[in-house]
Amino acid sequence: MNRFLLAALVTAGAALSACAYNDTLGRNQFLIVDDAALTQQADAAWAQALRTQRISNDAAALNRIRNVGGRIVDAAGLSDRRWDYAVFVSDAPNAFVLPSGKIGVTTSLLALVRNDDQLAAVLGHEVGHVVARHAAERYSTSAATGLVLSGVQGVAGDYGQAAGAIGGLGAQLGVLLPFSRRDELEADRLGVDYMQRAGYRPAESIALWRLMQAQRQGATPEFASTHPSDTTRISALEGYINSRGWN
Catalytic residues: 126
Which amino acid would we find at residue 234?
I
The beta-carbon contacts of 100-103 under 8 Å, at least 24 apart in sequence, are 100/38, 100/39, 100/42, 100/43, 100/46, 101/130, 102/42, 102/43, 102/46, 103/65, 103/69, 103/127
Which of the 8 DSSP states describes residue 55?
B
Q: Which of 42, 25, 45, 44 is nearest to 34 (CA)?
A: 42
Contact indicator for 62, 6 with CB cutoff of 8 Å? no
Q: Which of 92, 83, 100 is nearest to 54 (CA)?
A: 92
